[in-house]
Structure 1
Amino acid sequence: MKKDVFIIGFMLFALFFGAGNLIYPPTLGIDSGTSYWMAISGFIITGVGLPILAVAATSFVKNDARELADRVHPLFGLIFTSIVYLAIAPFFGIPRAATVGYEMSIEPFLGGGSTVALFIFTAIFFIFVFIVSLNPSQMVDHIGQYLTPLLLLAIVALSIGGILVLNTPLSTPSPTYESSPFFTGFVEGYLTMDAIAALAFGIVVVNAFKDRGITSRHNLVKATLKAGIVAGVGLTAVYTFLGWLGTQMTAQDSFTNGGEILSAAANVIFGNFGALLLGIIVTLACFTTSVGLVVAAGQFFTKITRFSYKWIISIVTLVSFLISNQGLDTIISFSVPVLTFIYPIAIVLILLTFMHKLFGGETGVYRGAILLTAIVSLYDGLVAFGLEMPTIASFMEKLPFFELGLGWLVPAVIGGLIGLMVSRNKGDLNTDS
């Protein structure tokens, strides 16, 4: 049992630790400066805490994340869960992982970008992703027993080297991190996609435990939570180090993204060998995450369509391959608005799952909370996409915590309370009649 918890926990760590997990903490570190510890604390809540809760939440249901969303309405469950899987898999998550893998493991040795090199790299990358994804049960052993330890060894080597070589005083934080470092880090944690990816990975973890003979609901929840803690400890340690690495690079140069920060840091610490070590870390991280997302999407869409699992993962890998060749900047520019929209909804859904018994599982609570959350997050997503809505903006800006990127928080609470009162009143009326 203990061995299975660690193996599956290592697998979950590797599934979470992908492109976004590599490129965002160093950017946070370099921007937050002396406010680093507050900023990384906020980042860890959304980048580690929420994903672990989401994985645990899926262990409460019999099938998958759709069952959680069905508590709002079956149609909402189908649409929202499909959007989540499409976003984290073929449209954004997997292509981002592949392009980050290319830009940080191949491009440094070429001296610049190359569309031909990107095409060749992604073609080979997705062939191997497809092969490993064909057998989900063996995926646990491949990743948990072999790839994750290799990934951790490479990260430890980079960490030790960084501690021994780098000792730069912390810089002055950027304006947003100076005024509200914790909440800025909290919102930055959205970009890892992990809380919504966890809705997909959760069922992979549950199925892995079922394959090992754990069938009772109590034991599944317990085992899943333990595996989540194993993954969470690893993620917290890695995020903290990668962020700290960013704080040490302020004097080196100006950077446009976290990938450049990591590449420069690896070069400072290990010279030319650093680029090779970082390339191993990035390729392994992006590969394991991509496999997990393909498997999760394959299992979900096989359930809701008449297509076989093999056909589904063939489509997912092909679409991911095509989108990945559009380049990282294009993928990120389209993913941020979508994530801004769906992330708060996912957070509210996860939290309501753990409070389900407190309000008796009233459907009205789910509907009220999700409806008002969706209205605010849709506005935020449209603004992130570049649409200006001055009339609506004047109202939205009055919401509590709006300037912190958490304007949806109070509406979610109000919506849930209204939904609870409406449900209770309906119950009273039905009782009277």
Structure 2
Amino acid sequence: MRFVVNRSLSTFDVMGLGFMTFAFFLGAGNIIFPPLAGFLAGENLNSAMFGFLLTAVGLPLAGLVAAALAGGGLPTMGRYLPPVVVTVMGCAIFIIIGPAFAAPRTGLVAFEMGVKPFLDNPGQAALTLYTIVFFGVALLLSLSQGRLLEAVGKLLTPILLLLLIILAVAVFVNPQGTQPEVAEAYLHQPFVKGFIEGYNTMDTFASLLFAILILDVLRKKGVIEPRAQSRYLMMAALIAAAGLGFVYTSLFILGGTSLGVVESASNGGEIISAYVLALFGTPGLWILAGIVTLACLTTAVGLVSSCADYFHNLTGKGSYRRWVVMIALACMLVANVGLSTLIAVSIPILVALYPVAIALVLATYLRPLMKSPVFAFRLIIAVSLAFGLLDGMQAAGLNMVLFDFLPLFGVGMAWVLPTAVAAVIGLVAGKAREEALA
């Protein structure tokens, strides 16, 4: 008879797992959002920052903990939904964090912070040439499923974090500018605006997938007992959340003290580059450009590889290499719209679909109280999607005056109260059904 021994992790192992989780979430693209939000929020910075942190740190943390409680990521958390719905959700998440938004954004951030500061008004031709080279390299490296850059990626994240810590200390000790005026978008509902801006990190989506990777790492380390896996996953999530909270808070303050360093900005990459130039001069800008470019490249390779692997296994059609080529070409084409345009286009889609991810996390927490989880899960997810689509259509600029009567519709969060009501109905209906059967 064979006995399997569950291994306990040392403090060093737990810290390593936490930093690995932090590295999963800290894509170089994520660092561009807090500075711009801080710049636009002005004196309402604290409210906007709290809203952003709730979405960009709190929800991914909640997602990982929910996955730990459920014993797995999206497939396990969605086991009470029809299989086709879980498959569609998985496809949507991989498309969003892959060729539609997150992967092209890596090339655009690399261009914005690694090339643009050194060129005099670069045009579309420069961007096109750069994206061809950037995603061409990502394509070649992805053909080996990113193994060539695995060691480099493990080195780059600590270096990038070190640079961000140095930048954060410099911002606190020697701010280079003053607080900007409040932009109209942050004038009346700064918390809600910051909350929705946090969607741009896409990390709540990612948490549903990263949990699977972290649990796989734990199994390989000999942690096979479900409760131990959940405990270590929660520890890793808390370490990652602390790191992300520090980075985002410091970048918010950077943006909130950058008037004079920049007079206006269309994205956070411009603000960070200008701030680093003011603090450390051209050498600092070169170092930042090099690290961010390489960090973006490793992120791009990881995203292209994982998307190609997912769709190859899902469809069973086409080789992995063919999927890599198709996804890399799609990223190259999408990236040519420019960073500001890509972010603007992504917002309505994220506003529409993010509530579904939040609702799935909520339903997972409520699962122990449900008597009819199949009914409750399907009701909660359906309601969040329906009202999320209304918010998304409004964010896209469509005329939605017929729905102005909905609570919170004017601030893009019409999904909140209906989803909460659906959760209560799911619990009560389950209890009522159980009593009727007794």
- Tell me how far apart the structure 1 counterparts of residues 13 and 136 of structure 2 sit (CA, whole Å): 28
1:317 counterpart letter in structure 2: A
Q: 1:334 aligns with which of 345, 352, 359?
A: 345
Structure 1 pair 340–163 and aligned structure 2 pair: CA distance change class (3 A): same
Residue in 2 aligned with 1:187? 196
In the alignment, the residues of structure 2 paired with residue 60 and residue 310 of structure 1 have an alpha-carbon distance, to the nearest angstrom, of 36
Match of 2:232 in 1: 223
Residue 225 of structure 1: how far off its partner (Å):
1.7
2:275 is the alignment partner of 1:265: yes
Alpha-carbon contact 1:32-1:39 (below 8 Å) kept? yes
What's 2:286 paired with? Answer: 276
- Aligned equivalent of 2:92, options 54, 64, 83: 83
Q: 2: distance between equivalents of 1:281 and 1:421?
A: 53
Matched-pair contact (CA < 8 Å) for 2:178–2:259? no
Distance 1:348 1:257, change over 3 A: same
State the match for 1:408 in structure 2. 415
Partners of 2:269 and 2:93 lie apart in 1 by: 25
Shift of residue 66, structure 1, vs aligned partner: 3.3
State the partner residue of 1:305.
315
SS in 1 for 2:405: helix
User: Does structure 1 residue 388 correspond to structure 2 residue 395?
Assistant: no
**Counterpart residue number, 1:364:** 375
Q: For the residues of structure 1 that align with 2:31 and 2:44, how far apart are their CA atoms?
A: 20
* Aligned-partner residue type, residue 268 of structure 1: A
CA distance in 2, matches of 1:306, 1:50: 33
Q: Which moved more, 1:259-268 or 1:159-168?
A: 159-168
Match of 2:76? 67
> Residue 271 of structure 1: SS of its match in structure 2?
helix
Sequence identity (%): 33
Shift of 1:309: 4.5
Which consecutive unaligned segments of at least 5 residues does structure 1 have?
none
Distance 1:132 1:12 in 2: 21
Q: Distance in 2 between matches of 1:227 and 1:372?
A: 32
- Matched AA of 1:409: V
2:120 corresponds in structure 1 to: 111
How far does residue 360 in structure 1 lie from its aligned partner after superposition?
Answer: 4.2
Q: Is the 8 A contact 1:67 1:77 kept in 2?
A: no
- Displacement, 1:133? 7.5
Distance 1:67 1:109 in 2: 48
Classify 1:51/1:358 alpha carbon distance in 2 versus 1 (closer, same or farther; 3 Å): same
User: Secondary structure of 1:179's match?
Assistant: coil
What is the CA deviation profile of residues 247-289 of structure 1, one whole-angstrom value per residue up to 9, with x for unaligned ones?
1112341222212211221121122223213313432442343
Note the alpha carbon deviations across 1:17-56, whole angstroms, 9 max, x for none. 2354222111121122223223212211110111122233
Per-residue deviation, 1:424: 4.2
Letter in structure 2 aligned against 1:108: P
Counterparts of 1:134 and 1:5 in 2: how far apart (Å)? Answer: 29
In the TM superposition, residue 297 of structure 1 has moved relative to its aligned partner by 2.6
1:57 deviates by 3.0
CA shift for structure 1 position 245 = 0.6
Bigger drift between 322-331 and 160-169 goes to: 160-169
Q: 2:101 aligns with which of 68, 71, 92?
A: 92
Letter in 2 for 1:341: A
Does residue 1:157 correspond to 2:163, yes or no? Answer: no
2:416 partner letter: L
One-letter amino acid of the counterpart of residue 222, structure 2: G
Pairwise CA distance, 1:356: 1.4
- Over residues 107-132 of structure 1, what are the superposed CA-to-partner deviations in whole Å (9 max), with x where a residue is unaligned? 21122224444344334433554526
In structure 2, relative to structure 1, the CA distance for the partners of 1:296 and 1:239 (3 Å cut) is same
Q: Whole-Å Cα distance in 2 between the matches of residues 361 and 143 of structure 1?
A: 44
Aligned-pair Cα RMSD in Å? 2.7
Corresponding position of 1:418 = 425
Matched, 1:241 2:250: yes
1:216 and 1:287 mapped to 2: Cα distance?
36
Gaps of 5+ in 2: 1-8
- C-alpha contact (below 8 Å) 2:50/2:194 kept by paired residues: yes
SS of residue in 1 equivalent to 2:368 = coil
Map 1:286-297 → 2, pairs under 5 A:
286-297=296-307
Supply the AA of the counterpart residue of 1:371: A
Comparing 231-240 and 200-209, the one that deviates more: 200-209
Segment of structure 1 superposing worse, 291-300 or 45-54? 291-300
**Could you say which residue in structure 2 is the equivalent of 1:122?**
131
Residues 167 and 122 of structure 1: CA distance in aligned 2, closer, same or farther (over 3 Å): closer
Which residue identity is paired with 1:410? L
Contact 1:17-1:286 within 8 A present in 2 as well: no
Distance in 2, matches of 1:257 and 1:98, equals 14
Match of 1:373 in 2: 384
Aligned length: 426
For the residue of structure 2 that corresponds to 1:251, the secondary structure is coil
Query: More displaced, 235-244 or 157-166?
Result: 157-166
Instruction: Spell out, residue by residue over 1:77-111, the C-alpha distance to the aligned partner (whole angstroms, 9 max, x if none).
Output: 11122111111111111001211111211121122
Match of 1:214 in 2: 223
1:45 to 32, 46, 54: 54
Q: What is the deviation of 1:334?
A: 2.4
Pair 1:31-2:40 in alignment:
yes
Contact 1:249 1:261 in 2 (8 A): yes
